[in-house]
C-alpha cells in the first residue's frame, strides 16, 4: 500500500515508518524536518501549505496524520490552532482532491482534561462497526474511573482543545462518504529510545539526583511504549470503512511513587527519601517560572502546566 506519514521524521513517526516498511508498504514522509533515518523518503513540507500537501497525496492510498504542535511551552499559543486545526482542514482538502479514503489520526488523551471523574466503563465508539477497544481488553479491576472512548471531552489546555477541533473536522470528512475509514487514536504519554519528552526529563532528573517530588505521589499515570503503539497503528490499516476511536495505553497504570521506585531500581539506586513539596507550593513555583519565561522569552523545564500534569491522574 502507498502510505503517507505526516510528521514521519519525529519520534513516533520514525518508528511507525520502520514498522510499515517491514510490512512491505511503500512509505513517504511529509515533514518540515528531513528524516535522519529515511532522508530519501522525505518530502520537506509544512502541514499549513495546502497546495504542497495536496500534491504530496497523489497516488497515496492511506494517510497517518501525526504532524502537530504538541509541546507544553509553544509560543504563541495560536500555533496550536494554525498547525493542528488548520493542518486538519488542509488535510481534508488534500484527501478529497486525491480521493484518499483511509485516514489514521493520532489525537491525544488530553481531550479528556485533567483528573476526569468518569463512573462508567465503555467501549469502542464507532459507526459501521462493532467491537471492543484495546483499552477495555487491558483494563484492570478497580479502574472504573478511567476515561473510555465515550467519556465527556473537556480539554484543559490549547493543545487538547486544538486536537479535539481537528477530530471534529475529520469526523465531518468521514460522515460525508460511507466508504471513508477514519481511525482516531488517543494515546497517553509515549516513551522510548531517543525520545526527549516528559518521561525522559523525569528519568534524567532521577538519575542526576536533582529530582524533587511535588505532591504525595499517589496519582496514577497511564503510559505507552512507542513500539507497542506503532505496532497497534500498523494493524489499523486492516480496518473496514467507518469511524473508530481508540484510547491507547499500556497496562498497568502505576502511581507516581511506584514509577519512581521502578526507575530507582532500574538505576540501581537505593531510594528511601519520602520528602515532597506540597502541590500548592509546587504550583506557585510553576507560575513563577511561567512569568519568568514570559519576561525573558526563554523556556524552562518547570511550568504550571507541567506541575499540574505531574500531579494529576492521567
Which residues are catalytically annotated? 159
What are the C-alpha distances in Å from 57 to residues 24, 136, 148?
A: 19, 34, 33
> Nearest-5° angle of CA 23, CA 234, CA 182?
135
Taking Cα atoms as reference points, which of 106, 108, 95, 107 lies closest to residue 62?
A: 95
> Which ranges of 176-299 would DSSP assign to H, the alpha helix?
198-208, 226-235, 256-267, 279-296
Sequence-ordered strand ranges (E) for 162-249: 181-187, 189-191, 213-214, 220-225, 242-248
Give the chain's count of helices (H) and strands (E).
Answer: 11, 13
Which DSSP category does 198 fall into? H
Cβ atoms 125, 149 nearer than 8 A = yes
C-alpha span between 86 and 67 (Å, rounded): 12
C-alpha span between 79 and 90 (Å, rounded): 15
C-alpha span between 211 and 106 (Å, rounded): 31
List the grid coordinates of 259.
Answer: 514509577
Amino acid at each position: 500500500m502507498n502510505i503517507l506519514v505526516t510528521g514521519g521524521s519525529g519520534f513516533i513517526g520514525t518508528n511507525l515508518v520502520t514498522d510499515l516498511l517491514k510490512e512491505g508498504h511503500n512509505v513517504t514522509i511529509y515533514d518540515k524536518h528531513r528524516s535522519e533515518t529515511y532522508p530519501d523518503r522525505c518530502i520537506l513540507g509544512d502541514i499549513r501549505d495546502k497546495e504542497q500537501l495536496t500534491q504530496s497525496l497523489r497516488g497515496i492510498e492511506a494517510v497517518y496524520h501525526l504532524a502537530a504542535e504538541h509541546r507544553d511551552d509553544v509560543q504563541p499559543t495560536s500555533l496550536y490552532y494554525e498547525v493542528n486545526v488548520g493542518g486538519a482542514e488542509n488535510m481534508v482538502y488534500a484527501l478529497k482532491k486525491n480521493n484518499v479514503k483511509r485516514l489514521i489520526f493520532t489525537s491525544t488523551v488530553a481531550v479528556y482534561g485533567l483528573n476526569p471523574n468518569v463512573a462508567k466503563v465503555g467501549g469502542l465508539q464507532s459507526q459501521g462497526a462493532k467491537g471492543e477497544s484495546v483499552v477495555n481488553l487491558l483494563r484492570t479491576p478497580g479502574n472504573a474511573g478511567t476515561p473510555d472512548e465515550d467519556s465527556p471531552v473537556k480539554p484543559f489546555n490549547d493543545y487538547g482543545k486544538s486536537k479535539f477541533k481537528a477530530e471534529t473536522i475529520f469526523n465531518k470528512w468521514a460522515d460525508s462518504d460511507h466508504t471513508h475509514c477514519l481511525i482516531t487514536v488517543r494515546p497517553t504519554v509515549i516513551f522510548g529510545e531517543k525520545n526527549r519528552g516528559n518521561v525522559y526529563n523525569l528519568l534524567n532528573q532521577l538519575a542526576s539526583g536533582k529530582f524533587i517530588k511535588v505532591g504525595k505521589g499517589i496519582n496514577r499515570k497511564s503510559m505507552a511504549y512507542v513500539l507497542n503503539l506503532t505496532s497497534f497503528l500498523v494493524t489499523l490499516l486492516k480496518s473496514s470503512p467507518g469511524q473508530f476511536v481508540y484510547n491507547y495505553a499500556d497496562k498497568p497504570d502505576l502511581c507516581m511513587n511506584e514509577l519512581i521506585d521502578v526507575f530507582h531500581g532500574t538505576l540501581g539506586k537505593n531510594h528511601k527519601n519520602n520528602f515532597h513539596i506540597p502541590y500548592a507550593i509546587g504550583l506557585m513555583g510553576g507560575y513563577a517560572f511561567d512569568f519568568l519565561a514570559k519576561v525573558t522569552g526563554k523556556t524552562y523545564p518547570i511550568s504550571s502546566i507541567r506541575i499540574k500534569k505531574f500531579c494529576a491522574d492521567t
